[in-house]
Amino acid sequence: MSKKSVPEINASSQADIAFLLLIFFLVAASMDTDSGIFRRLPPMPPEDVVVNPPKYAKRNILQVLVNKNDMLAVNGEIMDISMLKDKALEFILNPQNKPDLPAKDIKEVPFFGRVEVSKGIVSLQSDRGTSYKMYIAVQDELAAAFNEARDIKSMEQWGKKYDELDPEQQDAVRKVVPTAISEAEPKNIGGTK
Amino acid sequence: MAIFKRDEGSKSAPTISTASLPDVVYMMLFFFMISSTMREVTVMVENGMPDARTVTKLEKKSLVSNIYIGRPKAEFVGMYGSEPRIQLNDKFATLNDITSFVIAEQEARSEEDRNSITNNLKVDMDTKMGIVTDLKQELRRANSLRVSYAARKKV
């Protein structure tokens, strides 16, 4: 028997080629998945129609103002942003049915049956001079308040957090706690352009 | 146990086989090819995204149209100034271009997807709200109402 085997094809350069391709894809590609705060803008009213803004009772509105110095005022009183979430949460849920917090409607919702749905609307108004960072921080706090309210509702119903529910249950919770953030038409009060 | 005995003297230390190295690299290559998307536009504005806790992921990449806002990067300051600008695709744009951009984005998608395009607003965190508000009004006028304020997940 001969001790020599069949000569192998030298494959060491294949690794180099593969590395080249790998590095090309690493450079040309971006891995980041887009994430963000999703919102639906209200449709533009037709220009020739004068729309009277709907009237809401004062108790049903949580007025959030952010001025050009990134200062926050909720229902007329200056507030730190760390307090906003609790304030909004109390506004959404109104657990003690206080007369100065939103009224509630009785609605028919799957899983829940007849349930109280808050009529409250968070009205967010920012100035042209407000920084985007502050605006997102406020949006984030409000969204966090709504999420927490949903967590509380789903805890009462199923003993689970909102994220752990299946899609139909999430839908139902969203009907009980709808995202009611309204952005007022932009104003220009002493804004810097 | 003669099988385990090395025929010493005739050979030096055995070389490590690198034959499987290409396979490993190919595996990595395919992983990156599948998990990544091609970078389509060169961003010409500053793009420091704000942090937020309640971010949601944008599910369908093909239904996202990106709008960048921020100060032009250093190499463009000479030409476009240092005020925040809007960037659509590969060029700077003004508010008047938004409507045609929205229509072009809708044309590029199939009929049934046109109403589910999400405008991903990638706004630099030092930008003032004025330009963002203008953009939102313009999007409302163009009836493209789904927006996502791009933000990073705060940990």
Answer yes or no: is B149 within a domain.
Answer: yes
Contact A15 B18 (CB under 8 A): yes
pLDDT computed for residue A193 by the predictor: 40
What's the pLDDT score for residue A51? 67
pLDDT, one tens digit per residue, over B34-49 is 777 666 678 888 888 8
Q: What's the total number of domains in chain B?
A: 1
Domain around B124? 55-153
> What single-letter DSSP state applies at residue B3?
T
| Cα–Cα distance for residue pair A142/A86, rounded to 1 Å | 9
pLDDT in tens, A138-158: 999 999 999 999 999 888 888
Report how far apart, in Å, the C-alpha atoms of A1 and of each of A4, A5, B39, B80 are. Answer: 9, 10, 58, 79
Rounded to an integer, what is the distance from CA B32 to the centroid of its chain? 15
Helix axes A81-93 and A132-158, enclosed angle (nearest 10): 40
Residues of B with Cβ-Cβ distance to A125 under 8 angstroms: none
pLDDT at A4 over 80: no
DSSP states along B65-122: EEEEEEPBPGGGHHHH-SS-EEEETTEEE-TTHHHHHHHHHHHTS-GGGGGG-EEEEE
Residue A25: the pLDDT is 78
Task: Nearest by CB to A15, from B22, B126, B150: name it.
Answer: B22
In a domain, residue B62? The reply is: yes
User: Does some domain include residue A51?
Assistant: no
Any domain includes A96: yes
- Say how far apart CA A84 and CA A63 lie, in whole Å: 11
In the predicted model, is pLDDT for residue A55 greater than 80?
A: no
- B14 falls within a domain: no
What pLDDT is attached to residue A191? 41
- Structure confidence by residue, pLDDT tens digits, B2-27: 556 555 555 677 887 777 877 888 88
The confidence band for A32, taking pLDDT boundaries of 50, 70 and 90, is low
Judged against a pLDDT cut of 50, whether residue A192 lies above it is answered with no
Look up the CATH number of the domain holding residue B83.
Answer: 3.30.420.270
In angstroms, what separates the C-alpha of B9 from chain A's closest C-alpha? Answer: 17
B29, B64, B149 ranked by CB distance to A18: nearest: B29
Nearest residue in A to B121, CA atom: A36
The confidence score (pLDDT) of residue A57 equals: 79
CB A77 within 8 Å of CB A35: no
Mean pLDDT on A21-47:
79
Q: What does the block give as tokens for A94?
A: 């109104």
- Identify whether B148 is part of a domain: yes
Which residues in B lie closer than 8 A to residue A37 (C-beta atoms)?
52, 54-56, 148-149, 151
| Mean model confidence pLDDT for chain B | 83
Distance from CA of A133 to the nearest CA of B (A): 5
Mean pLDDT (whole number) for B76-105: 87
What pLDDT is stored for residue B37 in this prediction? 66
Cβ <8 Å between B33 and A25: yes
Q: Averaged over B57-80, what is the pLDDT?
A: 86
A91 has a pLDDT exceeding 80: yes
Q: Do A130 and B124 touch (CB under 8 A)?
A: no
pLDDT, position A163: 86
Kindly state the average pLDDT of the residues A40-56.
Answer: 75
CB atoms within 10 A of CB A40: 11
The interface residues of chain B toward chain A in range 94-153, judged by CB-CB distance below 8 A, are 118, 120-121, 123-130, 132-134, 136-137, 139-141, 143, 145-153
Looking at the complex, does the CB of residue B41 fall below 8 Å from at least one CB of chain A? no
Q: What percent of chain B has pLDDT over 90?
A: 6
Task: Say whether pLDDT at B99 is over 60.
Answer: yes
Asked if residue B13 is part of any domain, the answer here is no
8 Å CB contact of A35 and B150: yes
d(CA A132, CA B125): 5
Residue A189 placed within a domain: no
Cβ neighbours of residue A2 closer than 8 Å, sequence gap 6 or more: none
Q: pLDDT band at residue A2, thresholds of 50, 70 and 90?
A: low
pLDDT, residue A190, reads 46
Give CB contacts under 8 A, 24+ apart, made by A94-101. Answer: A94/A118, A94/A120, A99/A59, A100/A59, A101/A59
Q: Which residues have C-beta within 8 Å of that of residue A99, sequence separation ≥ 6?
A: A59
How far away is chain A from the Cα of B65, in angstroms, using its nearest Cα? 11
Instruction: Specify if A71 maps to a domain.
Output: yes
Residue B23 placed within a domain: no
Q: Does A41 touch chain B (CB under 8 A)?
A: yes
Is A88 inside any structural domain? yes
Q: Which two tokens stand for residue B106?
A: 């809708």
Q: What total number of domains does chain A contain? A: 1
Q: What is the CA radius of gyration of chain B?
A: 25
Q: Which residue has the tokens 């493209």?
A: B144
The tokens for A72 are 């926050």
Give percent above pLDDT 70 in chain A. Answer: 88
Task: Please give, rounded to a whole number of angstroms, the shortest distance from the CA of A78 to a CA of chain B.
Answer: 20
Mean pLDDT of A151-174: 88
Name the β-bridge partners of A66. Answer: A72, A126
pLDDT (tens digit, 9 = 90+) per residue, B107-139? 888 888 888 888 989 999 888 888 888 898 889
pLDDT in tens, A67-86: 888 889 988 888 898 888 88
By three-state DSSP, how is residue A179 classified? coil
In b/e form, how buried is each residue of A92-119, taking b as 16+ CB within 10 angstroms?
Answer: bbbeeeeeebbeeeeeeeebbeebebbb
- Give the domain extent around A155: 58-183
Partners of B129 on chain A (C-beta within 8 Å) are: 126-132, 135
Please return the burial class of B88, using the count of CB atoms within 10 Å of its CB with bins 0-12, 13-18 and 19+: buried
Min Cα distance A49 → chain B (Å) is 14
A93, A152 in Cβ contact below 8 A? yes
ipTM of the shown complex: 0.74
Quick check: is B119 in a domain?
yes
Q: What is the structure's pLDDT at B8?
A: 54
Distance from CA of A4 to the nearest CA of B (A): 14
On whether residue B16 sits in a domain, the answer given is no
- Single out the residue of B69, B65, B78 nearest to residue B45, CA to CA: B69
